[in-house]
Each structure stands twice: as C-alpha cells, then as structure tokens.
Amino acid sequence: MLIQKNIKKDSFMRFSNSFIYTSKEAPSDATLPSHIYLIRGGFIQGIGAGLYNFLPLGKRVLEKVRAIAKEELDSAGCQEVELSFVTPSELWMESGRFEKYGKELLRFKDRKDAEFVLGPTHEEMMVNLVRQYVKSYKQLPLNLYQIKTKFRDEIRPRFGLMRGREFLMKDGYSFHKDEADMVENGFNKMKDTYSKIFTRLGLDFRIVDADSGAIGGSGSKEFMVLADSGEDTIVVCKSCDYAANIEAAKRSPTKAPIAKEGEEVEMTPGLFNTPNISTIEDLCKFFHIDAYYTIKAVAKKALYDDGVEKLVLFFVRGDSDLEETKACNSVEANELIDISEEELIEAGLVPGFMGPIGLQEDIIYKIDSELKGQKTLIAGANKKDYHAIDVQIPDYGAFFADLVAVSEGDCCSSCGGSLYHTKGIEVGHIFQLGTKYSEPLKAEFLDENGKRQPFVMGTYGIGISRLLAAIIEQNHDERGPIWTKATAPFDIEIIVSNIKKDDELNLGDKLYSQLKELNIETLIDDRKERFGFKIKDYELLGIPYCIIVGKKIADGLVEIVDRRSLEKEEISIDQVVSRVKELVG
RNA sequence: CGGAGUGUAGCGCAGUCUGGUAGCGCACCUGGUUUGGGACCAGGGGGUCGAAGGUUCGAGUCCUUUCACUCCGACCA
C-alpha cells in the first residue's frame, strides 16, 4: 500500500522523477556504438564480464522486441511456455551434450551434491516435456517456445549485449511426424515468421546458409543483420540471391590460372630437394609456379568427448584458405586447437614438408573436395627438405571434405557470379534438427500404423537482447542511437525548454496529457536543466521524435524534431497533436 | 587457452618509478546568478586505494600470494 501511494500514475514518463541516468562518458572498454550508447543512455549497466542490468529504458526496448516476437509467433500457431532455468544434468547426460557442450555450460551442485547446469539452450528440457505428453501423431505438429534468460559461459564475452554470458533469447522447438512436415510446417513457417519479426523491428537483414554448430542437425539458416561491426563474415553473391555464413559458404572450384600461349604446366614426377622451402609462398617462388598447383597442409589438434585429443591434418589447394568450422565438422570434433611444431615432430611429421601422399597410416587427414582427381600438384613429401612433384589425388575415397574458406572474388556455385564478403550480426537461427535429440532421449509417438517413431524436430532461436545491440549498430549517428519506431522506448519526447516559464511548462503538460489520451508513449523532459543539456540527452536516448516547447511559443509555435534527420519542423500549437499522430502512426 | 594490461569516490582518470596526512574532471548536496545546443560562482558530502599476507617507525606506492576485469590472438608450418 505504501509503495502504491508513492507512485504517481504517470511518474515514470516524467524525466524529472524517472530512473534514467545518462552520462557524458563511455566506459573505457566499450568500442562498439551499441555498447557505448546503451551504457551512456542509461539503457543498461555493466555488472561483470558479459553480465548486464537492464534499466527502465533498456527494459522498455527489450519488452517491445519481446512483444513483437511473441505476437508473430503466437499468430503462427506457436505456444509460449517457460522452462526451468536450472536444469538437472541427467538430461544433458542423456543427450550426450554434457561433455559435448564444453566449458560454456555452467555446471554446479546443490546442497545435496546433485549436479545441475544453467540452461544455455533448452532442447533437452523441451524434448523431455513433450515426450511425457505427446504419444500420438494426432497431437502433431506442435511448436513450443519460450523467451527466457540463457547462460553461456563464453570464453570471451565482449561488445556489450552483442556477446554476453547471460542474455535473453527466444528459443522455439517444433515436433513433427515426418521430415516433410517438419520442413513445411516447422522450418519454412518459422523462416517466414522470423522474416516478419525482423521486418517489423525495422531491420535490414539477410537470410543466409549456415553451419549447424554445437546444436547439430542438417539444414540451417541464419538471420543476419547487416552491420560493419558484425562478428560473422557473410559471403554474398553479386548476381543472385545466394548468401551464406562463411562457415558454410560454397563456391565453384577455383580455376587454373590462364597459362601464357604455348605454355602448359608440366611436371616430372618424383621428389625434389627444396631446402628450407617450407611455406607456400617460398615454394611458388622456388618453382616459378602459381599457388594453384600446390597443396597446403594445416595441422590441428582435434578435441573429442572425455578429453580425447587427436592430431589431424587438412590439405587444401595452396591458393585457398582452410575454413576452421568446416574442418572441425569434417573430423566430427568438438573443437580444433593449434598444435605446436614439437608435437608434430613427436608424431613423426615434418613441419613445412607435410603432404597427403606417404603419410603414416595412423594419421587422420582430410583433403579438400576441390582437389579430388587433380594432377600436377606439388606437395610436401613428408621428408625434411623435400617436396613431391606431380602429385596425383585420387577421385575416390572417404577422406574428402569441403574445407575451404570462400574468398572475395570467388565464383558463386549457383550462378557463377562474383562473391564478396560482408559483416553481419546473427540475430536468428533456424535448424532442421531431425531426430538428433528425440532419438537419444527416446521421445517417440505412435504413427498411423501404430509404430513407434521418434519426433522429427526443428529448433529456432532469436537473440532478443542481442537485437538491442544489432538495432543500434544499424541505426545510429555520432550523437547516439536512433531507435526504429517499433523498438523505441517512447514514441516521442517533449522537451520543456525552460520549466521556470509557466507558459512553457503548462503547454508541455497539456500536450503530454493529450498524447497520453491517445495512447502515444510520451516522455516529458521537465527537468530543471538548460535547453542544450536536454536536447543532448534526447539525442542520446534516440527517441524517434521530439516536441520542443520553448521560446517560439510566443508566435504560437512549437517544433518537432526528427531524430534520424535531425531536422526541425515548426508547427502551430493547435496542430501538434494531429501531426504527431500522423508521424507516430 | 596463449600474450599484454588494468584494479584508487557512482563514472572517467592522476598519484605508484623515488614510501611521509588520498587528488582532479564529471555526477551528487546547499545557496545564488543564468536559461535554445552538455552554464557560472561560492560552499559541501562521499575512499578500509580489488583482497590477503610480508618488509618498514610509516605502504595507494616495495615484496609475495590471490581474486576480478579488460584488450589482442587463437590462421595455414
């Protein structure tokens, strides 16, 4: 009762007694505009590595994003649930991810010594929930989601809300009787729904082919907000609509450099003495040959469950780069790490002179698919100071895999057009999961023939809190963020230039009440500050529009500022409200 | 995980080398002036100097240990 008494109905929207604190100075570690402005504008407060408090302004934006996601998901037939954040580790052991997920999974014990994890994603919990209630194909399809805090103990949290350890994520899971239904009523439906969500949020985004990562599964697409500061590299085709995360990008194989007339590359098979020639660059100079005709060796240590480590070798064409995620997937490792020269020597390998031919039998290796059946290549001879000439790669065998990183200027595998790189922020990811979790967790139903079948699943995520950062990365200027209409903490702000002038304060208050009547979310800056101070703050809050009630009142005018263009429009007092209605829409 | 660095008032920092009563700017409080692009004057409050131990008459400063945080990298032999 006491608390209620103290809260005026409209108190929150009055700057003078709101919990909004802006700052002229940014935290010294912040480099990204989104990080700087979120802190300076008083949207969030950093509280530890990758941990943030959401203050009233930030919370309002977060709720807007959440509400839009919820509306679209609900209208697509999804149902919201909320699963326990602390999850018993048994479920994670059942799915096999207790080990696989690695150190990002925060584990701890309760007073009875029972082991738990903080949910980094909730496939296990959701499958567990559904398998207890859904027993028949008649109950399918089903699409459940939640919007809930997640915790991932990231190696290196950074960039504010972009890569936090604790963050708000929408995670959804769909259950189907078969693959076709999953693709149509799960995956594709979510693809459309996500597009609607990001469009409503006012974002410029691309849907790209993606790697499936630790979640596992087959087909997957990422929703990328295009921004220079994005952590992901996206490969985009200039000529067609092909777009992919570099971790999954494809290209058509590189072509041999055009030989000069009358010249053809010929090689005499055999070993060639190449003292101290251990890099591709040196090799090309030595033989006067293009890197296209060489094979590059990359050694890594692959980490598997239960601490198993294996040395692995990857071979790609000398003019190409290894894509680590692809390489990791090709050997089904949890992670690849660097390996020292000493370790290579210990394993009987010759750093600088490693090649695919004549390796010891116990070495695990993969060769890039583009090299399949290729001839006239130079590769390390697995012997110090020797290279093998005219190496021929067979066109059969299980040791081929797509390993190369697509570079700018490579050719599109769909249309042959030129590919280029751009940066993106991953804000959504949809997967065709199949039975990856339903099988180990024995989540089954009875089909039309009374036969037990595992659910065919899809899983879908949106980084809700990351979206705040993504919106700003795409929408800001040197003065602060520029929220999109759908995400701004308020529709409009009213600045009363000088509250000591009764006519200004009264008009501000009057407009404020009128806008409230119209359900337009309004913040009135009625603080005892000077005009310059308030307009700077307005720009730092990034609210789409601002009404300045100030000295033009004498001419019967106020001004409306457009945050994006920073243009001021003078308008007579009796027309303001209808004009605002138009603008805010 | 490897490398580098930083912990001093709510925030941003100086002081540490060369030990001797803890400082500056912003923010905050009081009073006054000012009021259309982050005002000014005067006065004021606020710190176990990340933690623990050691050296010393005396430690923010030197030594040891530890914790936390940040940045860069994790790429081809």
Q: Which 3 state secondary structure label does DSSP give A578?
A: helix
- Which residues make Cβ contacts (< 8 Å) with residue A544, sequence separation at least 6? A482, A483, A484, A485, A488, A491, A492, A562, A563, A564, A583, A584
Compute the Cα dihedral for A141, A221, A255, A270 and give only its sign: negative
Q: Which two tokens stand for residue A318?
A: 């000398």
**Spatial separation of the C-alpha atoms in residues A453 and A551, rounded to whole Å:** 74
Do the domains spanning A63-87+117-249+421-473 and A270-405 agree at the CATH topology level?
Answer: no
What are the residue boundaries of the structural domains of chain A, listed by start? 63-87+117-249+421-473, 270-405, 490-584
CA of A189 to C1' of B12 (A): 49
- Residue A216 pLDDT: 52
Nearest nucleotide to A551 (CA to C1') is B36
pLDDT for residue A258 is more than 80:
no
Q: Is the CB of A533 under 7 A from strand B?
A: yes
Q: Is the CB of A132 under 7 A from strand B?
A: no
Q: Which 3 state secondary structure label does DSSP give A203?
A: coil
- Which residues make Cβ contacts (< 8 Å) with residue A198, sequence separation at least 6? A205, A223, A225, A427, A428
pLDDT for residue A540 is more than 60:
yes
Most distant CA pair in chain A, distance: 95
Give A1-38 pLDDT, tens digit per residue: 444 444 344 445 899 989 999 998 888 888 889 999 99
**Spatial separation of the C-alpha atoms in residues A585 and A32, rounded to whole Å:** 31
Q: Which 3 state secondary structure label does DSSP give A284?
A: helix
Interval A455-481 mean pLDDT: 95
**Where do runs of H (alpha helix) occur along A245-351?**
280-287, 324-330, 341-346
Distances (CA, A) of A224 to A227, A253, A370, A468, A482: 9, 26, 28, 14, 19
- Residue A159 pLDDT: 87
- Residue A350 pLDDT: 83
Give A340-364 pLDDT, tens digit per residue: 777 778 788 888 888 887 777 778 8
Q: Which 3 state secondary structure label does DSSP give A542?
A: coil
A48-62, A117-131, A289-303, A535-549, range with the lowest pLDDT: A289-303
Q: Which 3 state secondary structure label does DSSP give A54?
A: strand
On whether the CB atoms of residues A174 and A123 are closer than 8 A, the answer is no
Tally of CB atoms within 10 A around A28: 6
pLDDT for residue A452 is more than 80:
yes
Give A174-230 pLDDT, tens digit per residue: 999 999 999 999 999 999 999 999 999 999 999 999 887 555 556 889 999 999 888
A309-317/A364-368 β-pairing = parallel
Q: Which residue has the higher pLDDT, A181 or A257?
A: A181
Strand residues in A370-477 grouped as ranges (E): 377-383, 386-391, 400-401, 404-405, 419-434, 444-446, 452-454, 456-463, 476-477
- Residue A9 pLDDT: 43
pLDDT for residue A489 is more than 90:
yes
CA of A38 to C1' of B76 (A): 39
- CATH 3.90.960.10 at A270-405, yes or no: yes
CA of A54 to C1' of B51 (A): 29
Query: What residue has its CA nearest to the C1' of B39?
Result: A530
Q: Which residue has the higher pLDDT, A560 or A245?
A: A560
pLDDT for residue A512 is more than 80:
yes
Nearest nucleotide to A321 (CA to C1') is B76
Q: Which residue has the higher pLDDT, A167 or A393?
A: A167
Phi, psi (degrees; rounded to nearest 5) at A208 = -125, 155
Fold of A63-87+117-249+421-473: BirA Bifunctional Protein; domain 2 (3.30.930)
Distances (CA, A) of A334 to A90, A197, A200, A232, A344: 20, 33, 37, 20, 21
Provide the positions of strand B that have an atom within 7 A of a protein CB: 1, 11-13, 25-26, 34-39, 68-77
On whether the CB atoms of residues A314 and A300 are closer than 8 A, the answer is yes
Q: Is the CB of A135 under 7 A from strand B?
A: no
Compute the Cα dihedral for A273, A274, A278, A279 and give only its sign: negative
**Spatial separation of the C-alpha atoms in residues A108 and A118, rounded to whole Å:** 8
Q: Is the CB of A437 under 7 A from strand B?
A: no
A29-43, A333-347, A412-426, range with the lowest pLDDT: A333-347
Confidence of residue A339 (pLDDT cuts 50, 70, 90): confident
Interval A451-474 mean pLDDT: 95
CA of A584 to C1' of B70 (A): 41
**Spatial separation of the C-alpha atoms in residues A567 and A375, rounded to whole Å:** 65
Q: Which residue has the higher pLDDT, A80 or A156?
A: A80
Q: Strand B within 7 Å of which CB atoms in A 549-568?
A: 549-553, 559, 561, 566, 568
A492-496/A545-549 β-pairing = parallel
**Where do runs of H (alpha helix) occur along A101-181?**
123-133, 179-181
Interval A514-521 mean pLDDT: 93
Q: Is the CB of A2 under 7 A from strand B?
A: no
Compute the Cα dihedral for A529, A533, A535, A541 and give only its sign: negative
Q: Which residue has the higher pLDDT, A52 or A309?
A: A52
On whether the CB atoms of residues A146 and A170 are closer than 8 A, the answer is yes
Q: Bridge partners of A225?
A: A205, A425
Question: A67, A50, A54, A56: which is closest to A19 by C-alpha?
Answer: A56
pLDDT for residue A113 is more than 80:
yes
- Residue A158 pLDDT: 84
A110-124, A263-277, A444-458, range with the lowest pLDDT: A263-277
pLDDT for residue A577 is more than 70:
yes
Q: Which two tokens stand for residue A348?
A: 């009987």
On whether the CB atoms of residues A350 and A383 are closer than 8 A, the answer is yes
CA of A48 to C1' of B18 (A): 36
Give A251's Cβ-side CA count (13 Å radius): 29
Query: What residue has its CA nearest to the C1' of B12?
Result: A25
- Residue A213 pLDDT: 59
CA of A493 to C1' of B8 (A): 39
- CATH 3.40.50.800 at A490-584, yes or no: yes
On whether the CB atoms of residues A544 and A488 are closer than 8 A, the answer is yes
- Residue A325 pLDDT: 84
**Spatial separation of the C-alpha atoms in residues A178 and A189, rounded to whole Å:** 15
Confidence of residue A247 (pLDDT cuts 50, 70, 90): confident
CA of A231 to C1' of B7 (A): 29
On whether the CB atoms of residues A165 and A154 are closer than 8 A, the answer is yes
> What proportion of chain A, given as a percentage, has pLDDT over 70?
95
> What proportion of chain A, given as a percentage, has pLDDT over 90?
51
Confidence of residue A508 (pLDDT cuts 50, 70, 90): very high
- Which residues make Cβ contacts (< 8 Å) with residue A302, sequence separation at least 6? A309, A310, A311, A312, A328, A331, A333, A334, A335, A336, A364
Q: Is the CB of A156 under 7 A from strand B?
A: yes
Q: Which two tokens stand for residue A172?
A: 């959804």
Distances (CA, A) of A309 to A349, A366, A387, A578: 17, 17, 29, 69
Q: Is the CB of A300 under 7 A from strand B?
A: yes
Query: What residue has its CA nearest to the C1' of B35?
Result: A530
pLDDT for residue A510 is more than 80:
yes
Q: Strand B within 7 Å of which CB atoms in A 40-79?
A: 40, 48-50
Helices A56-75, A189-200: inter-axial angle, 10-degree rounding: 140
Confidence of residue A231 (pLDDT cuts 50, 70, 90): confident
Q: In whole angstroms, how large is the CA radius of gyration of chain A?
A: 29
